[in-house]
């Protein structure tokens, strides 16, 4: 039976000069279940006009021989119209060779008029094939649009987009490179695609080996590679680039790297200049510290030698004067008061001189200076100060010992100003190659935001001074609820950073001639 189809719309263009045959075809298609909408043409101009007027034909069914033209000419007219319905020849008599020629020319099938039962299956098959062709064309157009959009975006990205494959022989082959390669690398994308390892040859020798090793490690872990290095542009010029790419496995198991390259030369230059600026600031800070210590030493010397000597002389004179006032009790009392004030002044001058120029630090070492200052601090502030020096024989360089002593003074000053403490514990120890000085109080404690106060210069100055030695300051919560400041400095000074900023800057300017 032919009425097996669910009612299906069918728009058919019949190329037939025999009205009876056209009606027979229409009746056969309706009987098969089609909701038929058809047009019948018998001349080539009418066929071309119908194809031009309507683009939604589901099928073209053509007789082979018509007055003035034939099925091959009708097929060519359909092909010229760029309409893509199935073209099926229905003829009363057609030999096999003619049918084969028609199908090679583009016809989908042929059916003899006495075998119309084949027509419906052929139509259904070719409609499915036509739908597949349409979907394929739409997918192809979508791919083309997507590729055009990608290329437009890639052309406007300042970095170089790329796809890279590492061959079994170790060759680096680009499968895709965006047009920005000319601007970034000074090499056309076509050259990078055509010449394996061209990109590698542009790298500095040492950095080329690092890149290959880093890529191999990333491949073994299937992780993203983030690499920075230099490439030659000319004999005396090069650029810093950042290359970032991620691996993706293809169907055949090979690994494809997809990523982007950026020009980071300016940021590298800024980084070098920043390091140079930091180095100059560090040198300036060292110079200011030396000038400050020299000025302190001068003032301490004047206090000790001039003011101290003057006060002692005044005390001797007052004592002599008091000895001559045997019968003047009131005056003798006044003289003793003056002598007591002179004793206090001499003691204060001595303490100030010791703070300004800790002579004990040079003569007896850091441990003795720490203990001596703790005694003075306790007498002056009334805050109990206990000192534990586990290593009295610590031999630190003068610069390190002085810096630690100054930061220790600053830490105790902060305690007296802000902590509201009644007790301070000081520990001086040596841990491996570091000197560790801990100042712990039982005061109100230090909050994290205290470090961010605009005028919180005390702790900042401690941190900066230790950093210049290669050391560090750590804040902890004290065992008794206060604050513990841990000062750590190496026995031998370690520079805060390599002093290569100027060399790096010169290298950035002059290129890498010696490494090419």
pLDDT digits (tens, 9 = 90+) for 273-315: 888 887 777 677 667 767 776 676 677 667 766 777 787 788 7
Question: Token pair 């290569």 is at which residue?
Answer: 500
Give pLDDT, residue 82.
76
For residue 94, being part of any structural domain is answered with yes
Same domain, 187 and 65: no
Expressed as residue numbers, the domain containing 285 is 266-357
Name the strands in the sheet holding 109-112, side by side, starting at the edge strand that comes first in the sequence: 34-41, 8-15, 59-62, 87-91, 109-112
Same domain, 370 and 493: yes
Same domain, 342 and 397: no
Same domain, 98 and 218: no
For residue 455, being part of any structural domain is answered with yes
Q: What whole-number distance in Å separates Cα of residue 396 and Cα of residue 412?
A: 21
**For the chain, percent of residues with pLDDT exceeding 70:** 85
For residue 515, being part of any structural domain is answered with no
Same domain, 88 and 33: yes
For residue 513, being part of any structural domain is answered with no
Assign 331 to helix, strand or coil.
Answer: helix
Q: 400-421 pLDDT, tens per residue? A: 888 888 888 888 888 888 888 8
Q: How far is CA 2 from CA 116, 173, 204, 465, in A?
A: 10, 60, 78, 99
Same domain, 461 and 376: yes
For residue 382, being part of any structural domain is answered with yes
CB proximity list for 187: less than 8 A, separation 6 or greater: 181, 198, 202
Same domain, 270 and 259: no
Same domain, 174 and 163: yes
Contact between 236 and 229 under an 8 Å Cβ cutoff? The reply is: no
Q: How many domains does the chain have?
A: 4
Give pLDDT, residue 220.
92
Same domain, 121 and 18: yes
The token duo for 290 is 């030396």
For residue 504, being part of any structural domain is answered with no
End-to-end CA distance of the chain: 84
Between residues 49 and 450, which one has the greater pLDDT? 49
Name the strands in the sheet holding 472-477, side by side, starting at the edge strand that comes first in the sequence: 384-389, 423-431, 434-441, 483-490, 472-477
State the average pLDDT over residues 21-38: 90
What is the average pLDDT score of the chain? Answer: 81
**C-alpha closest to that of 168 among 265, 255, 56:** 255
Residue where a domain stops, chosen among 337, 357, 377: 357
Give pLDDT, residue 155.
66
Indicate the pLDDT class of residue 156, thresholds 50, 70 and 90: low
Neighbours of 23 (CB within 10 A): 13
Q: How far is CA 61 from CA 22, 54, 89, 327, in A?
A: 10, 15, 6, 152
């Amino acid at each position: 039976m032919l009425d097996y189809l669910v009612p299906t719309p069918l728009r058919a263009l019949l190329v037939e000069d025999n009205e009876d045959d056209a009606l027979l075809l229409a009746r056969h298609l309706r009987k098969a279940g089609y909701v038929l909408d058809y047009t019948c043409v018998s001349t080539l101009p009418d066929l071309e006009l119908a194809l031009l007027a309507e683009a939604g034909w589901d099928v073209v069914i053509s007789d082979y021989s018509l007055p003035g033209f034939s099925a091959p000419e009708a097929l060519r007219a359909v092909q010229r119209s760029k309409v893509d319905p199935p073209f099926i020849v229905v003829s009363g008599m057609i030999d096999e060779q003619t049918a084969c020629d028609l199908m090679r020319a583009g016809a989908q099938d042929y059916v003899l008029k006495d075998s119309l039962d084949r027509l419906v299956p052929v139509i259904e098959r070719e409609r499915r094939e036509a739908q597949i062709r349409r979907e394929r064309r739409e997918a192809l157009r979508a791919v083309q649009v997507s590729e055009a959009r990608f290329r437009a975006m890639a052309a406007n990205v300042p970095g170089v987009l790329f796809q890279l494959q590492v061959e079994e022989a170790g060759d680096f082959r680009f499968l895709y490179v965006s047009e920005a390669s000319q601007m970034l690398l000074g090499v056309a994308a076509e050259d990078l695609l055509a010449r394996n390892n061209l990109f590698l040859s542009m790298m500095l020798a040492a950095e080329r080996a690092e890149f290959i090793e880093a890529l191999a490690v990333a491949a073994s872990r299937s992780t993203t590679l983030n690499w920075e290095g230099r490439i030659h542009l000319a004999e005396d010029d090069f650029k810093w680039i950042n290359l970032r790419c991620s691996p993706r496995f293809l169907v055949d198991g090979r690994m494809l790297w997809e990523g982007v390259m950026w020009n980071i030369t300016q940021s590298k230059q800024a980084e070098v200049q920043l390091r140079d600026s930091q180095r100059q600031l560090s040198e300036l800070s060292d110079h200011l510290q030396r000038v400050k210590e020299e000025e302190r030493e001068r003032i301490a010397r004047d206090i000790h030698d001039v003011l101290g000597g003057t006060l002692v002389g005044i005390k001797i004179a007052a004592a002599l004067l008091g000895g001559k006032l045997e019968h003047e009790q009131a005056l003798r009392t006044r003289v003793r008061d003056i002598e007591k004030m002179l004793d206090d002044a001499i003691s204060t001058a001595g303490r100030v001189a010791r703070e300004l120029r800790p002579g004990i630090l040079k003569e007896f070492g850091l441990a003795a200076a720490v203990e001596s200052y703790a005694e003075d601090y306790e007498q002056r502030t009334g805050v109990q100060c206990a000192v534990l020096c586990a290593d009295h024989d610590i031999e630190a360089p003068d610069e390190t010992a002085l810096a630690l002593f100054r930061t220790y003074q600053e830490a105790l000053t902060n305690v007296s100003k802000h902590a509201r403490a009644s007790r301070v514990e000081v520990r001086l120890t040596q841990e491996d190659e570091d000197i560790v000085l801990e100042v712990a109080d039982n005061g109100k404690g230090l909050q994290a935001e205290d470090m961010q106060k605009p005028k919180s210069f005390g702790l900042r100055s401690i941190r900066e001074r230790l950093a210049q030695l290669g050391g560090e300051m750590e804040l902890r919560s004290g065992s008794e609820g206060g604050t513990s400041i841990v000062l750590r400095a190496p026995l031998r000074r370690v520079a805060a950073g390599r002093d290569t900023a100027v060399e790096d800057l010169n290298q950035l300017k002059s290129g890498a001639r010696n490494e090419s």
